[in-house]
Chains A and B, each alone.
Chain A
Amino acid sequence: EAGVAQSPRYKIIEKRQSVAFWCNPISGHATLYWYQQILGQGPKLLIQFQNNGVVDDSQLPKDRFSAERLKGVDSTLKIQPAKLEDSAVYLCASSLVGWGNEQYFGPGTRLTVT
């Protein structure tokens, strides 16, 4: 089966610019996650969707980050304006609904803010 798709794979922007990342989850997976992984650290959950509703966005910096999943399938994560500390890999994952279901990760988008 096809895995989680993400694009772009790499992005370089200057601080104060905006950027958007796209994710297409595995077909049939109602739950979608966005994680931020800073170099040398484990992934940190930014936001979790179930279908098109937000389940958890407690660690999303809402003054500059936004995410949507309008039709309950694809999702976009946006940063506006970007800061230097936003340099990281942004990972998208998806899973079936329910406790204990495996999260499948995409390859990530590596963002460099200069």
Chain B
Amino acid sequence: GIQVEQSPPDLILQEGANSTLRCNFSDSVNNLQWFHQNPWGQLINLFYIPSGTKQNGRLSATTVATERYSLLYISSSQTTDSGVYFCAGPTQGGSEKLVFGKGTKLTVNP
């Protein structure tokens, strides 16, 4: 199955700063998703982004499928952005089942 690697593992920011999180995957994927897990454990789907770029408010994501990576951009970070960000891709081919990276833990300080 595919391997999903995320970097950096930890990130500490001051409120208002911008950041870029990276996700590398070992094989081509047709289903790449980004999630945010808040400090209470709830996982929220941020993007389904097999290729191209999407934006949602201060967050945007870009997947370059041919080069097997995806980036999540957070602009003007807020304390509520704190938590763990996960990317996930299908275990193989067109599988519905996702394998998750280990996550990037983001702390935004006031």
Bound pair: A and B? no
Chain B interface residues toward A at CB < 8 A: none
Chain A interface residues toward B at CB < 8 A: none
